[in-house]
Structure 1
Amino acid sequence: MYPHKTLYFRNNKRSLNTPDAMKHLLLILCCCYLTVNGWSQKITYAEPDREDPRGVNFEIIGKYNNHFIVYKNYRTDNYFTIFDNNMKQVNKIPLEIFPERLLQTDVLAYRDYFYIFYQYQKKNIVYVMAAKFDGNGKQIGNNIELDTTEVNFTANNKLYTFLNSEDKSKIAFVKVNNKRRETYHITTVVFDKNLVLLKRNKLYIKSEDNNNELLSEFAVDNAGTIVFLKEASTQQRDNIATVSLCMLGTATDSLKELKIGLPKIFIDQLKMKVNNSNHQLLVTGFYAKTRRGNIDGIYCLMFDYANTSVVSNKTYTFSEEFRNDAKGEATIKTAFNDFYLQNIIARNDGGFAVTAEANYTSTRTGNGFNRWDYTGMYWGNSFYNDWYMWNSPGMLGGGMWGNPFWRGGFPQVTRYYSDNIAILSFDSLGAIEWSNVVRKSQYDDNTESLLGYCMLNTGTEIHFLFNQVERRNQILNDHTITPEGQLTRNPPFKNIDVSYECLPRYGKQVSSRQLIVPTLFRNMVSFAKIEF
């Protein structure tokens, strides 16, 4: 049995048995403690740019020399908005380097500069390009062509998926073509941080089951090795039957594929993370003991890909205490049926933590979103004009602001729910150290923009920020958890302006104790700086 931590609230009780002098000292310390913690949280709001169209897309780039840069796009218009340290807009820089119609943009920020990678089609060629900018939003050099693909159709979406390593020293693009269903045609290009090409590979992977196979969880490590999962489902497409780890290094032209022996359990989704500190792959997912059954626990695989050895391959059944803490409105048996893995946080000691959130929908006129709808979507037809789009559905991700939930086929009136956050910590051998739950209850109609959460990692604790409705207003809440599993509900922010509604799920950490979070002010997009 692993320990389950209970929720801990700050308090300012004083011992009645302490001598008077000690009482006074403790009183002073408590006052200082509450003052520091109560006022260390600060929100600074930016006024919305009234020239921005209502449908503007954006991506928060980062912090440079005490100012913040946000990239915005609307149709053919692209520009940077720059805010000073007080979140006053000080500049707006139009970008005329992009073609009229972009298929995809991705941003990678460094300390003194950043890249915008973009894809576009001209005639029958799809281009992957890069533009480099300094911390003031001024372009450095010319646009750089990274790769091209000839197509015989008009693309409506990206063909390449962008990857970067944890230390940002390696940049990669992957495309997968499955025109002939019996073979995957994979192209990978890997660059260093100066966009010097390190390796370009073309691979052909034979598909053993044309309709029930899936390539997922692509990643690149700090050495430039590209890793991904090759999964095969059952005929009903509701369970992963087999899984292989696939690895392609920069010093080889051949793919290394290793089949993993799964326990006799039912898993519908796997998430993977590279732990660069010890060259391990962390693969995890919720499992059930019966087909389409209730979620019973979590599966954990730790694989040392440097030595090609399995460190841990285990399952853990959730305790009744943990299930009761996480269940929300569900029963103890169905406590985790609506939870979906979202983050894997690798630690330097070889351990890791995972977070999962309860997400579901309801509707008055049709069926809502549930685990089995999600599974069918996950294994459904992923082909678009023979090009394979392997983005994981329903998961939160980076990129321009957009709808992170799939809505295909849903009725017009849909209520979105986003409830508790479950956190589990594992040691370097894959054993559970502790578990905990951040309790929240969120819902909204026909949109999920105000739901969900974002995290800020200070190194000594992780903040979870999310909205809760109080007196009909969306109020930002802050909970923190330590590496030992101690969960704290922090005091409310002192300077919240209820006329601004925060969108925490789209926030981005820009320094060790700062976040930039988009907000809505009278349906206009703006931004706020949150400091701890």
Structure 2
Amino acid sequence: MIRLFLLLSFVLLFGIDVWSQTITYSTKQKITSKTARFSIIGKNNDGIVLRRYGKTTNILDIFDDNLSYKYSVPINPRRQNAFTKGILLNQFGATTLFLAPEKDFMILYARVLKQKFEIAGSTEIPLDTVFDGKDNTIQNYRYVLSKDRSKILLYCPVYKGNEAIYIQMKVYTRDLLLLQKKRINIKEDIRSETLSFHPVIKNNGEAVLYIINSTKADKTAFAINDIHQHHLTYNGYIYKKLKFQTTAFGNVSFKYDEENKRVCMAGLVSDGNKKSKRSSTGYFINFINADSSKIEVQEIKKYRSAFMYELTGKDSTKHNGQLSTFDLKKVVLRKDGGAIIILESYFTENDQISFQSRNHPSFTNFRTYNVFYYNDVICYSFNPNGKEQWHSILRKKQISENDNGIYSSFGLLTEQDELNFLYLDEIFYSANVNLYILDSDGKLRRKSLFNQGDENIMAIPRLAKQISKDVILIPSLRKNMLSMVKIEL
């Protein structure tokens, strides 16, 4: 069913723009224990694809453009105890990737499903072999697609105890033609539990693996000692050690800019003081030339006093100017070679409530519950030289209990000159699904899309999927009933 919504009330009171859009809802289906997890895969010529899955079950549900149900296809691997790692949509059908255990090793297979995801006649093609335990391999095996989705990089660190001893990498075309392969041995002098691995792949099939050698500063901060760059090219393998030292806080991101031929490395920094509260004091952003492997831009900045006052309302000249709950969430590349880094505030608390026992009224019992907080979002925009051009603060306050925060945070959708942040204004059945629209100059607008209570749904914006320039899909889960919402902006 399709409805046209127009928000007319509370416009001036809440600062929300009047806006109309077409919204389509799918029928609801019950989630079972065998398929308790789900994700929107995307859209191809067969239709819109929703995956429902569990430990041993994988099902694809196919819908037409109006979200009318068409058919379902089970895609369980034929091999016993196999684990599905990914589903890549083709023009028709899909390619599934799954790991299957042997006696002392694991094999990664691919299976190409033709039009309408037809399983009959499909063959299992071995792509890679990993000599490590089942649990380690399932946890550590990863793949990355090039921007044009024509190449796929497979990589997996292999461990001895808690230390990675080597990493194996392979590059395939989407037709499963092997282009490159390399086993990268990790030098004994840098082996540690704190190594982190960051791969990127180019449209031409060249791949780069960045290994951060670091030591722990505290539970969330770590001192970056150096960066080891391993470059797989068609002219051979190139290794280079990059000099960059700082104390990083939380996540570090590497993202390849295909248009400008360089890699953006970004994260938050800490003062490294073990006695101080876990927090960041600023950010860093580096741009690495993908051909010369030279760090062309290197910027480390502390949060400015004016920004801290804007964010917290407190005079930062009288305190240390630190953020304890924000972490790097995403990095978005700009067309001109710059970048936007997105931070979000997140933390949890454990609370207890007391209640009287029915059987023993004189005794007081306690129940513990977890509270999840997802609050403000900060966007910093940098020019190609790494200089901050603007920042914007997206205000939100999301609080939920015992749900792992699944309905909180945001979904990020991109248009030509805008970033769209999809979120719930509160974690409640009758909440509004809202949109923050951030333009290329840092100007911010907020719009309300619809009230989910009107349709008896509970949207999950963080799992939203953009299937075209102005069409987004959002999954909904309420009382074990799964559905999708399609919004045409």
- TM-score band by shorter chain is 0.7 to 0.9
Q: Give the RMSD, CA atoms, in angstroms.
A: 3.1
3-state DSSP class of the match of 2:260? coil
Q: 1:249 aligns with which of 227, 232, 236?
A: 232
In the TM superposition, residue 268 of structure 1 has moved relative to its aligned partner by 4.9
| Aligned mates of 1:221, 1:412 — CA distance in 2 | 48
Q: Which runs of 5+ in 1 are unaligned?
A: 1-9, 13-33, 366-410
Q: 1:421 aligns with which of 377, 396, 399?
A: 377
Q: Is the 8 A contact 1:183 1:204 kept in 2?
A: no
Q: Does 1:215 align with 2:196?
A: yes
After TM superposition, the structure 1 = structure 2 runs for residues 7-406 of structure 1, keeping only pairs within 5 Å, are 38-40=19-21, 42-50=22-30, 52-53=32-33, 56-65=36-45, 67-134=47-114, 136-139=116-119, 141-151=122-132, 157-179=138-160, 184-211=165-192, 213-223=194-204, 224-234=206-216, 238-251=221-234, 254-262=237-245, 267-292=249-274, 293=276, 294-327=279-312, 333=320, 336-364=323-351
Residues 494, 106 of structure 1: CA spacing in aligned structure 2 closer, same or farther, 3 A cutoff? Answer: same
Q: Does 1:443 align with 2:399?
A: yes
In the TM superposition, residue 256 of structure 1 has moved relative to its aligned partner by 1.1
The residue aligned with 2:386 is: 430
Give CA-to-partner distance per residue, 1:308-334, whole Å, 9 cap, x none: 322211112222332234349998756
Task: Output the amino acid matched with 1:79.
Answer: I
TM-score (norm 2): 0.83
3-state DSSP class of the match of 1:58? strand
In the TM superposition, residue 44 of structure 1 has moved relative to its aligned partner by 1.8
Task: Output the amino acid matched with 1:304.
Answer: N
Higher strand share: 2
In the TM superposition, residue 449 of structure 1 has moved relative to its aligned partner by 0.8
| Aligned mates of 1:51, 1:471 — CA distance in 2 | 20
| Aligned mates of 2:162, 2:426 — CA distance in 1 | 49
Q: Is the 8 A contact 2:431 2:452 kept in 1?
A: no
In the TM superposition, residue 242 of structure 1 has moved relative to its aligned partner by 0.9
The residue aligned with 2:425 is: 468
The residue aligned with 2:358 is: none
| Aligned mates of 1:225, 1:242 — CA distance in 2 | 23
3-state DSSP class of the match of 2:309? helix
| Aligned mates of 2:259, 2:348 — CA distance in 1 | 39
Give CA-to-partner distance per residue, 1:459-510, whole Å, 9 cap, x none: 1211100112288623211110111111101144378635201011111111
Q: Is the 8 A contact 1:475 1:498 kept in 2?
A: no
The residue aligned with 1:386 is: none
3-state DSSP class of the match of 2:423? strand
Q: Which runs of 5+ in 2 are unaligned?
A: 1-9, 353-366
Task: Output the amino acid matched with 2:439.
Answer: T
Q: Is the 8 A contact 1:54 1:524 kept in 2?
A: no
| Aligned mates of 2:218, 2:302 — CA distance in 1 | 25
Residues 298, 154 of structure 1: CA spacing in aligned structure 2 closer, same or farther, 3 A cutoff? Answer: closer
In the TM superposition, residue 212 of structure 1 has moved relative to its aligned partner by 5.2
| Aligned mates of 1:79, 1:530 — CA distance in 2 | 24
Give CA-to-partner distance per residue, 1:358-399, whole Å, 9 cap, x none: 01011126xxxxxxxxxxxxxxxxxxxxxxxxxxxxxxxxxx
Task: Output the amino acid matched with 1:444.
Answer: S
User: Whose relative contact order is higher, 1 or 2, with alpha carbons under 8 Å and at least 6 apart?
Assistant: 1
3-state DSSP class of the match of 1:80? strand
| Aligned mates of 1:154, 1:481 — CA distance in 2 | 41
**What percentage of residue pairs aligned between the two structures are identical?**
19
Give CA-to-partner distance per residue, 1:69-125, whole Å, 9 cap, x none: 112223322221111222221211222544343334212234444322111214433
Residues 191, 434 of structure 1: CA spacing in aligned structure 2 closer, same or farther, 3 A cutoff? Answer: same
In the TM superposition, residue 53 of structure 1 has moved relative to its aligned partner by 4.0
| Aligned mates of 1:230, 1:470 — CA distance in 2 | 37
| Aligned mates of 1:258, 1:188 — CA distance in 2 | 19
In the TM superposition, residue 416 of structure 1 has moved relative to its aligned partner by 0.7
Give CA-to-partner distance per residue, 1:179-230, whole Å, 9 cap, x none: 1777721111111121100111112120324445412222222232122232
Q: Count residues with an aligned counterpart.
A: 454
